[in-house]
């Protein structure tokens, strides 16, 4: 026991709560908790173990103090964040660095001493008249070499309740591995007004990589406050870089072949590109929709889902588009909805649910009615475009039986997807591991939508769909991915998908459910059950194989006209993308030479192909099989 804090904690905590901490037999935890009790000055402290009684206390209190409100279905609650606290705050999220260190051009940073002084000042006395919660979780399955312990200090029962749904319990895990390292998180919602954070202009999310600790204050939105999500991913990427594994912004799912034999795949898609809907496709199995840790063992790649739940965007979730999820969201069970619309009978509504909206209700703006506007004269929608649901994966009918396998799941393929209206084909296999990492992953772009940023069609560079969370230089991160294949006789195959290809009139060339066929083709390519056509940018399907898959999977015809429009090689657009990506990487330091070589080789293949076949080349032009 750390004598520095022993007497103080014995005096401040009840005997019951002190006993919970002392049983961990971990001086670092004792110092951590003691330090932030002194700084934040809570009225009381509750230490949450893995017991059902402690978890139930968190749930009850979330409702009792009105951080959540019960809805009409048993187990469902709703939480509202402040009107201006509806998403991750990139500008207020900073890494604390020393000596002017620069992580990468996409990461905001601040001198560590100045940042600590500021954040500690904001946290000082921030929990007066509130109860501090000390919670323990496991990032990954219990008793697994993949997993990392985590400790969350917060004054929000909503945050603690959300984490209990999303993450596996960690008190016993940390107690049984008392000398194993862990991540630390400190959060305070700050001063409250109308039960939401008042001082939003002082919202801060600071990441101290040197101490594996994240601070957030004056915010309630889960992306800023549920530390174990993207904030922990930043810490994990740094740890993975040192230890030779991968921490990725990826789903993990099982896909079956025609005979029901399952193989596992990881996939990285930027926001609003179909990542979650892909991970929970009907007929396949979901392991996770957001973050995966990937390690090598005995010459194979294995992955685990860091989480056991989903914090997902609810917009457009309905019976037609997401049948499995929609059914779960309308069934009894523990679910937190956030920033949706609730009517007088406590029924939930959201954009795209396909229900008739009530004439009035409560939403993230307070009392809502059709036509209501904010202070800038903008009409307030019934639910926020970033409204969310938090649900345990075991509430889904297609959750994979191996969700909690401590050994991880053998991953046979990586899939990268983006929103691309005019360049990439719907599905394509990379020519090699290096080609896939460079041309599919590190060259990933995605177009913005009017619904999210107000300006449609702007291509955003987002390598591996992870650029927002990189805590190491981009060049080092790419090198990590390239080197991961070392020691793997048959590394995972790499694929790209694009659900958003359009024709010249702007009409989508893919239907929403077509992704089921693209993924089935990917699954069959793993066993080489299907051949493929070699093109300058990768391997694409034969028409006959897709026609058969469309018939078997979707019970619909697939025309040769559609095949030609979807899978023709668009040479000018591909060359334009290469030019954009090359210009970006030429300005960055520490980029592996392999990257520019692979990009140059693809440019050469495209230019040679253009001379022989023109700007737009149908699949029949290519004859190579592999």
Distance CA(608)–CA(515), nearest Å, equals 31
Q: Decide if 17 contacts 46 (C-beta within 8 A).
A: yes
Q: Decide if 409 contacts 305 (C-beta within 8 A).
A: no
Parallel, antiparallel or unpaired: strands 335-338 and 341-342: unpaired
Q: How many CB atoms lie within 10 A of CB 614?
A: 12
Rounded to whole angstroms, the maximal C-alpha distance in the chain is 82
Q: Decide if 316 contacts 351 (C-beta within 8 A).
A: yes
Which phi and psi (to 5°) does residue 623 adopt? -120, -15
273 is catalytic: yes
With the CA atoms of 232, 496, 521 and 513 taken in that order, what torsion angle do they form, in degrees rounded to the nearest 10? 80
Q: Decide if 509 contacts 424 (C-beta within 8 A).
A: no
Q: Which helix (H) or strand (E) holds 232?
A: helix 230-243
Parallel, antiparallel or unpaired: strands 409-417 and 168-169: unpaired
Give the closest residue to 480 by CA, choosing from 524, 510, 441, 531. 441
| Identified catalytic residue from 40, 48, 135, 273 | 273
CB burial class (10 A; 0-12, 13-18, 19+) of residue 179? exposed
Tokens read off for 601: 């080789």
Distance CA(207)–CA(116), nearest Å, equals 10
Start-end of H helices in 79-156: 112-123
Tokens read off for 455: 């300006």
Distance CA(155)–CA(130), nearest Å, equals 7
Q: Decide if 411 contacts 492 (C-beta within 8 A).
A: yes
Alpha-carbon separation of residue 133 from 49, 206, 220, 272 (angstroms): 11, 20, 15, 33
E strand intervals along 260-349: 262-268, 285-288, 292-297, 300-305, 309-313, 335-338, 341-342, 348-349
How far from each other are the two terminal CA atoms of the chain, in whole angstroms? 63
Q: How many CB atoms lie within 10 A of CB 44?
A: 13
* 183-212 as b/e: b if 16+ CB within 10 A: bbbbbbbbebeeebbebbebbbbbbbbeeb
Q: Decide if 86 contacts 80 (C-beta within 8 A).
A: no
Distance CA(74)–CA(490), nearest Å, equals 48
Active site members: 273
């Amino acid at each position: 026991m750390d004598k520095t804090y022993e007497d103080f904690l014995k005096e401040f905590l009840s005997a019951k709560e002190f006993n919970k901490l002392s049983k961990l037999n971990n001086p670092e935890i004792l110092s951590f908790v003691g330090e932030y009790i002194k700084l934040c000055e809570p009225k009381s402290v509750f230490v949450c173990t893995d017991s059902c009684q402690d978890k139930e206390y968190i749930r009850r209190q979330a409702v009792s103090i009105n951080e959540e409100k019960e809805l009409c279905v048993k187990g469902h609650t709703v939480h509202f964040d402040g009107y201006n606290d509806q998403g991750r705050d990139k500008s207020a999220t900073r890494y604390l660095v020393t000596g002017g260190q620069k992580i990468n051009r996409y990461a905001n940073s601040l001198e560590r001493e100045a940042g600590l002084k500021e954040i500690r000042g904001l946290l000082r006395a921030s929990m007066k008249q509130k109860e501090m919660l000390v919670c323990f979780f496991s990032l990954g399955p219990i008793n697994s070499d993949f997993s990392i312990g985590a400790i969350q200090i917060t004054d929000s029962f909503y945050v603690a309740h959300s984490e209990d749904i999303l993450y596996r319990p960690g008190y016993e895990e940390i107690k049984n591995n008392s000398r194993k390292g862990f991540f630390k998180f400190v959060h305070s919602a700050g001063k409250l007004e109308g039960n939401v954070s008042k001082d939003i202009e002082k919202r801060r999310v600071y990441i101290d990589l040197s101490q594996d600790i994240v601070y957030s204050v004056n915010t309630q939105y889960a992306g800023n406050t549920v530390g174990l999500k993207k904030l922990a991913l930043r810490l994990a990427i740094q740890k993975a870089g040192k230890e030779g594994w991968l921490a990725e912004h990826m789903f993990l799912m099982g896909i079956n072949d025609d005979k029901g034999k399952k193989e596992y795949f990881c996939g990285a898609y930027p926001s609003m590109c179909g990542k979650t809907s892909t991970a929970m496709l009907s007929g396949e199995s979901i392991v996770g929709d957001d973050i995966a840790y990937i390690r090598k063992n005995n010459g194979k790649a294995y992955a685990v889902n860091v989480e056991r739940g989903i914090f997902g965007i609810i917009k457009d979730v309905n019976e037609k588009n997401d049948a499995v999820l929609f059914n779960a969201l309308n069934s009894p069970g523990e679910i937190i909805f956030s920033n949706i619309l609730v009517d007088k009978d406590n029924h939930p509504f959201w954009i795209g649910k396909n229900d008739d909206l009530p004439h009035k209700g409560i939403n993230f703006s307070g009392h809502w009615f059709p036509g209501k506007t904010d202070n800038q004269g903008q009409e307030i929608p019934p639910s926020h475009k970033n409204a969310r649901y938090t649900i345990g994966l075991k509430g889904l009918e297609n959750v994979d039986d191996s969700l909690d396998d401590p050994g991880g799941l053998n991953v046979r393929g990586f899939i990268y997807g983006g929103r691309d209206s005019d360049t990439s084909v719907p599905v394509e296999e990379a020519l090699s591991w290096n080609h896939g990492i460079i041309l599919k992953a590190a060259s990933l772009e995605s177009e913005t939508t009017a619904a999210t940023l107000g300006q449609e069609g702007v291509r955003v560079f987002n390598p591996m769909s992870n650029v927002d969370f990189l805590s190491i230089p981009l060049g080092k991160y790419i090198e990590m991915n390239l080197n991961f294949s070392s020691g793997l006789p048959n590394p995972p195959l790499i694929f790209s998908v694009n659900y958003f290809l359009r024709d010249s009139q702007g009409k989508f060339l893919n239907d929403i459910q077509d992704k089921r066929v693209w993924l089935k083709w990917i699954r069959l390519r793993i066993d080489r059950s299907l051949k493929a056509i070699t093109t300058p940018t990768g391997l694409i399907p034969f028409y006959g194989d897709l026609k058969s898959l469309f018939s078997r999977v979707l019970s619909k015809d697939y025309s040769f006209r559609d095949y030609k429009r979807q899978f023709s090689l668009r040479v000018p657009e591909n060359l334009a993308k290469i030019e954009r990506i090359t210009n970006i990487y030429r300005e960055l330091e520490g980029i592996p030479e392999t990257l520019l070589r692979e990009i140059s080789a693809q440019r050469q293949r495209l230019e040679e192909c253009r001379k022989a076949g023109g700007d737009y080349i149908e699949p029949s032009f290519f004859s190579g099989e592999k």
